[in-house]
Chains A and B, each alone.
Chain A
Amino acid sequence: QKEVEQNSGPLSVPEGAIASLNCTYSDRGSQSFFWYRQYSGKSPELIMSIYSNGDKEDGRFTAQLNKASQYVSLLIRDSQPSDSATYLCAGGTGYALNFGKGTSLLVTP
């Protein structure tokens, strides 16, 4: 079973703080990893993709991948109330992505 595990939360952070979201995966053959954000009643939208060990930064978002530990994380700096959503971690090989069940993030004003 190729599993992606995430803490369901909710993770509550104050506005302006750093939110840290984590994910582990079981399939060592996974080559690509993604973080998607999903607002209630909407479809997932891409936040970040990462393929190599290390950090990747894009604006307020930083994704980190550690293939040895089978660990992926997402840091959101200067969190805003509009960041409140469910964050889905996904990984896989080819186009059959395995998704975690998501972490609910709440940013309080």
Chain B
Amino acid sequence: KAGVTQTPRYLIKTRGQQVTLSCSPISGHRSVSWYQQTPGQGLQFLFEYFSETQRNKGNFPGRFSGRQFSNSRSEMNVSTLELGDSALYLCASSLGGARGTETQYFGPGTRLLVL
């Protein structure tokens, strides 16, 4: 079974621009979570989508948004990029059961550099 895929793998943007990242979950998985990883803050939860609805949200500003499509693929968007948005953005997929205890499997990540 194919794993989680993320595109693009690398991205360079300038301050003020916006960016869209894409994530395709493991086949059959309906939950997609997004995380930001930086050396200083570690892995931080952005949001989680299930059945095209945002089910959980972390403490990030409104510049960070996402959506999920009917095939469970998800996109996240960051508008008005800041230097501090430079990070590895990881998505993770899971079955998405109501108890919320299933394992999340991570994709390879998108490394974003904001200049």
A90 to B100 CA separation, bound complex (whole angstroms) = 14
Interface flag for A82 (CB, 8 Å): no
Give chain B residues whose Cβ lies under 8 Å from the Cβ of A36. 106
Interface flag for B105 (CB, 8 Å): yes
Question: In which size bucket is the chain B interface?
Answer: 20 to 34
Contact of A93 among B50, B100, B104 (CB under 8 A): B100
Chain A residues with a Cβ under 8 A of chain B: 31-32, 34, 36, 42-46, 49, 51, 88, 90, 92-102
A100 to B41 CA separation, bound complex (whole angstroms) = 9
Query: Which residue of the partner chain A has the closest CB to B57?
Result: A96
* CB–CB A94/B42 < 8 A: no
Number of A-B residue pairs at CB separation under 8 A? 63
Secondary structure call for the B interface: strand
Give chain A residues whose Cβ lies under 8 Å from the Cβ of B41. 101
* CB–CB B106/A45 < 8 A: yes
* CB–CB B106/A44 < 8 A: yes
Give chain A residues whose Cβ lies under 8 Å from the Cβ of B45. 92, 96-99
* CB–CB B56/A44 < 8 A: no
Give chain A residues whose Cβ lies under 8 Å from the Cβ of B58. 96
Query: Which residue of the partner chain B has the closest CB to A49?
Result: B103
Give chain B residues whose Cβ lies under 8 Å from the Cβ of A94. 48, 55-56, 100
A76 to B68 CA separation, bound complex (whole angstroms) = 38
Known: A95-B94, A96-B56. 11 other contacts (CB 8 A): A31-B99, A34-B104, A43-B106, A44-B106, A46-B103, A46-B104, A92-B45, A94-B55, A95-B100, A96-B57, A96-B58
* CB–CB A95/B105 < 8 A: no
In the complex, how many angstroms separate the beta carbon of B82 from the nearest chain A beta carbon? 22
Q: Which residues from 30 to 52 on chain B have a C-beta closer than 8 Å to any C-beta of chain A?
A: 31, 33, 35, 41-45, 48, 50
Interface flag for B90 (CB, 8 Å): yes
A36 to B90 CA separation, bound complex (whole angstroms) = 14
* CB–CB A99/B100 < 8 A: no
Interface flag for B66 (CB, 8 Å): no
Interface flag for B25 (CB, 8 Å): no
A51 to B96 CA separation, bound complex (whole angstroms) = 17
Give chain A residues whose Cβ lies under 8 Å from the Cβ of B90. 43-44
